[in-house]
Amino acid sequence: KLEIILSSIFFAGAIAAKAVTFTSLPILATVAIFGLRKSLNTQFIKTLIFASIIFLAISTLPYLRAFIKTGNPVFPFYNALFKSDLFHHINFENPLYTSGFNWDFLYKITFQSGRVLEGSAGSPGFQWILLLTPSIIITLFLGNYRCILISCIATLCVWMTFYQTSYLRYIFPSLALASSIIGVAFSSLKVYYKKWYPIFLILLLF
């Protein structure tokens, strides 16, 4: 019960802070509902209703305020739909970070970082190419279905975000999930491949 209420507060705060959270919330909510489907009972449903009320009370505040002041709850975004007179009747897009999620995503954020962040090449770190891809392969090979699920969630969240705007700062939560996959993959190698583990550890430290 406490975990559900706390989750609703944290998600509400995230949405109130950044509208980009809307791209990740449906994915996480679907996974949560699927995982909690066996817990459905009267008390659990009451908790969900209470948590939903808290969620709506916190998350909708900045959007209600924006709607009252401008006529657009996500001003200036989607103004072609809401047509606020305070901005052109077009959908606002940051010309520096246009939308798009391609197969070379990891290469782009590593060696062409200026296209996705206010920074020079390598700003996000080189661990994504060096460690993340092998880590995903390792978890697949070892059949770690929880890590596979986390990989899918992180990938979907990145895709949903970059479908709107290719701004790396908006996917930091997904990068945190990706980092956890790296940690699990390399710790698993210590259990299953003890002889090779020193080599993997040197690579990790590098």
pLDDT digits (tens, 9 = 90+) for 18-44: 887 887 777 777 777 777 776 777 788
Q: How far apart are CA 166 and CA 169, in angstroms?
A: 9
Report d(CA 107, CA 74) in Å as an integer.
32
Is residue 84 within 8 Å of 75, Cβ to Cβ?
yes
- The most confident of 88-97, 104-113, 184-193, by mean pLDDT: 104-113
- pLDDT, mean over the chain: 84
* 152 or 1, which is more confident: 152
pLDDT surpasses 90 at 129: no
pLDDT for 58 beyond 80: yes
The residue with greater pLDDT, 101 or 179, is: 179
Can you give the pTM of this predicted structure?
Answer: 0.70
Q: Of the given ranges (9-13, 15-19, 59-63, 101-105), which has the lowest mean pLDDT?
A: 101-105
Percent of the chain with pLDDT over 90: 13
Where on the phi/psi map is residue 122: left (φ > 0), alpha (ψ -120 to 50), or beta? left
Confidence (pLDDT) at 69: 92
Say what the pLDDT of residue 23 is: 77
